[in-house]
Amino acid sequence: MGNYHLYNPLRPMIALVDCNSFYACCEQVFRPDLLGKPVVVLSNNDGCVIAANKEAKAITDIPMFEPVFKIKDQLIAHKVNFFSSNYTLYGEMSQRVMNILGTFSPNVEVYSIDEAFADFSGMKNVSLKNYGHEIKDTIFKNTGLPVGVGIAPSKGLAKLANKMSKKIAENNHVCVIDSEEKRIEALKWCKIGDVWGIGRKHAERLKNIGVFDAFQFTQLPLQWVRKEMTVVGERTWRELRGEPCNEFITQPPPKKGIGTAKSFGIKLPDLERIEEACAYYISEVSEVLRAQKSCATYVQVFIITNYHSNVDQQYSNSRTVTLEVPTNDTFKIISAARKALVEIYKPGYRYKKVGVNLTGIIPQDYVQGNLFHQPSKLNNPKLIETFDAINRKFGKATISSGLVGTRINEWELIKKERSPRYTTQWGELLRVNSKSSNSKFQKC
């Protein structure tokens, strides 16, 4: 095969900054009394574990996405503190981290809510390890969130360096792969199943041919990797050898489909409250649609009962409606969705979930009119802009369609208390609730 790898210590470096146990740590930031204590965050409807801090993981092996009812007694016995998910809080804390990271690099790619790549091109005569510690310390000082920093010549190696920054205590949450020796050492340390870009099935296939770590993977012939693992596997192979293949995406492409489907806190038998929930969810996805300056051509609505119930009759259905003119107007989409919901709703069932999907998404500047469609006098873009501005300032659903009604808490996600929105509500910041989260959980 020859000496194919293109690793070059002088190549511009890439950093991956990843928040540790992000959701759980966000909760701890505003609850200092929980520092050093086990914290777990639960999914919508408090159904599954979606985050656990290091203290919780140290006490007992908590599988991610494990249904809570299976481990409830175990968690309570270990005095684990529980929080229902608060995505408004997590989103705002994430934005703070990304803004700070932007002061250290002109090119930042937000990879997920809790991690981002930073381009260090053009940096000369800079100690990358010291720079990584400066990033880590600044983020912690300004947000209270601990992060890990991995720096390497490619995204794949940066991901590996980030993992080593957390798993190896001597690294103190910062790891730099800036030499051939460090690259080989890191590859031999990483198990094949932990390589970014290699899924479970490919990992099993590789183990069957004697490949158990990342270094052994990089020694495979390129032709075999390309044939057996397609272009994705080849890209991973090259990245681990120090050749950047994944470009920076500082501006994510517009979404081609936007939707939401959330379980109710209680089962709903009547159409009226299901319509309220549907209208509320449409308000959410319409805001996302407007934020990316797009319009939807189709709206799909679906309803389902609880298929895990042994006592309820089961039913599900969906309907897709073509809008007369592609739009991002909340009220027009709600009107179309209501018609679809009436068609698929059947009385006599207790419904667990309603969902909406917006598809056929196009840029709002390319919307073509309809010769047979008469614009409504109520079609006022300024009104929608005002709605969005008020909700951004005072919080989600501060102002919404009258159809949403005043009973949101009866069906929205779950009947529970979430962590306060400290980042937007100063009144909540002054009213720190000292009650134990466990008492809330036990009532569920």
Active site residues: 115
Q: Which two structure tokens, joined as six digits, stand for 59?
A: 């006490």
Give the Cα-Cα-Cα angle 94, 23, 26 (nearest 5 degrees): 70
Q: Which helix (H) or strand (E) holds 355?
A: strand 351-359
Buried b (16+ CB within 10 A) or exposed e, 218-247: bebeeeebeeebeeebbbbbbbbbbbbebe
How many C-beta neighbours within 10 Å does residue 282 have?
Answer: 29
Nearest to 15 by CA among 94, 130, 92: 130
- Which residues have C-beta within 8 Å of that of residue 438, sequence separation ≥ 6? 76, 79, 80, 81, 82
How many C-beta neighbours within 10 Å does residue 92 have?
Answer: 15
| Partners of residue 81 on adjacent β-strands | 39
| Partners of residue 117 on adjacent β-strands | 16, 109
Nearest to 162 by CA among 19, 258, 350, 292: 19
Q: Are 280 and 397 in contact (CB under 8 A)?
A: yes
Taking the C-alpha atoms of residue 8 and residue 14, their distance in angstroms, rounded to an integer, is 13
